[in-house]
Amino acid sequence: MNNDFDTKQRLFGTDGIRGTVNKDKITAQMAVKLAMAAGNYFFGKAGTKKPRVLIGKDTRLSGYMLEPALVSGFTSVGLDAITTGPMPTPAIAHLTRALRCDLGVMISASHNPYEDNGLKLFGSDGFKLNDDVENEIQLKMETTPTLAKSADLGRARRMEDANGRYSEFVKQILPKHEDLSGLKVVLDCANGASYKVGPEVLFELGAETNIIGAEPNGKNINFQCGAMFPERMAKETKLQGADLGIAFDGDADRVIFSDEKGNIIEGDLIIGFLANQMLKHNELYGKPVVGTIMSNIGLENYLIDKDIPFFRTNVGDRYIISKMFETKSRLGGEPSGHILLTDFAKTGDGLLTALKILFLLKKSGLKASELLRPFKLVPQLLKNIKNINKNILLKNEVQRFINDKQNLLGKDSRVLIRPSGTEDLIRVMVESPDIKKNEEVSDEICSFLINENKLGKNE
């Protein structure tokens, strides 16, 4: 098989394959090749009589292109394909395991704009794939696939009750006979994958819900709404006199909250709150909480004060979940709103987390502003540099400059520069109690990197 994309570079990023549709690596042809390779790799892994794959998607226009391409590839190598239509990423992770599928695929670029799309793969156990498996699949994409005989081709069908199956699963996070009646909620579905199931679950649990961002048209996913733009949700929460505001991203694996005053509550605050709740109820069992290199220093200090160990991983919930299982942790997550509760789910689940927070809010009888801010975040400034060669971060002079800035800020501060694993940019994060100094240092670093990039082009 001819290979028309550059396999010298790794196809997979920190969260599957992602890029601009029909411009980067995301094409229908790539999807067919990936399906053939992944189908060959996972064929028979679930141990069922007839191998099958579950395929979900968010609401992007390009999903109509990628879904049939995947179905074609998988059925050609003998797997039955089950499609769900728009569903959250964590729903696909759960249903892959519940339906005993050999693998699952979510068509989504998560929080990216609609022009992008991506493919997230899950093993038969519902976990995202590790680097080694992804590399094996990429290698298989370079070789001729093993096609099924005519009589052994796969079939395709639509799963009609996917929403209901997932709804019943997430509602299990509430104790039996408990509901959310008496709560008023604003829910922003980001015009994405949760636009049906999110409102349905809150309605069934009795919450009075004002819904926004639930009118997808293929191009408005994440557009000035959802977890990437929570200001609209926060403003509406205050305006409606709601108890809590909830904003999902495009595939609903992350969630950001607002209190009743319209103030946004970041993911690290939610992790700290949940850790304290689990500590009170003897649910941590002395095990650590797991965050990432982006987690706020304030969270780390808060947990240390409570004698709760805290570990950091690379960015990406699959790295968090790997560390959680290694350390038998039951709670982890990211500032962006990926929250992992391993007693219930194998990946970040925005709806599951939202139900947990709503129940604890109702049970407490307190305002969200009183309950969900257990510590103060250390001021953190994050800037993105686009259209830049990520390899400049490997240069010695760049490393020295960054180290000098870290030394300037001192031990209670952090400077973190990293290439994005999901977008074509470099992220510059500066964290210290001095807001003005954060701005100065981040500007200096961004200017230095941009200049180094220009010098590299001229060499």
Cα(296)–Cα(105) distance, integer angstroms = 32
Cα(240)–Cα(217) distance, integer angstroms = 26
Find the helix packing angle between 162-170 and 89-98, rounded to 10°. 100
Cα(222)–Cα(228) distance, integer angstroms = 7
Q: Which of 62, 108, 110, 336 is catalytic?
A: 110
List all residues 6 or more positions away from 327 whose beta carbon is below 8 Å from its beta carbon.
Answer: 287, 288, 290, 311
Find the helix packing angle between 435-458 and 396-409, rounded to 10°. 170
Query: Which string of b and e fits 170-193 if b means at least 16 CB within 10 Å?
Result: bbebbeeeeebeebbbbbbbbbbb
Catalytic-residue membership of 110: yes
Which residue stretches of 263-311 are H helix?
A: 267-280, 297-305
**What are the φ and ψ backbone dihedral angles of 218, each rounded to 5 degrees?**
95, -20
Cα(2)–Cα(72) distance, integer angstroms = 18
Q: Are 216 and 59 in contact (CB under 8 A)?
A: yes
Q: What is the DSSP letter of 393?
A: G
Angle at CA 37, nearest 5°, toward 36 and 43? 85
**What are the φ and ψ backbone dihedral angles of 450, each rounded to 5 degrees?**
-65, -40
The end-to-end CA distance of the chain, in Å, is 37
Q: What is the DSSP letter of 377?
A: P
Cα(430)–Cα(380) distance, integer angstroms = 6
Q: What is the DSSP letter of 354?
A: H
List all residues 6 or more positions away from 307 whose beta carbon is below 8 Å from its beta carbon.
Answer: none
What Å distances lie between residue 288 and 304, 316, 317, 318, 392, CA to CA? 10, 18, 16, 17, 35
What is the 3-state secondary structure of 371-399? HCCCCCCCCEEEEEEECCCHHHHHCHHHH
Lookup: tokens for 40: 């060959």
Q: Which of 101, 427, 419, 31 is nearest to 11 (CA)?
A: 31
Q: How many residues does the chain have?
A: 459
Active site residues: 110
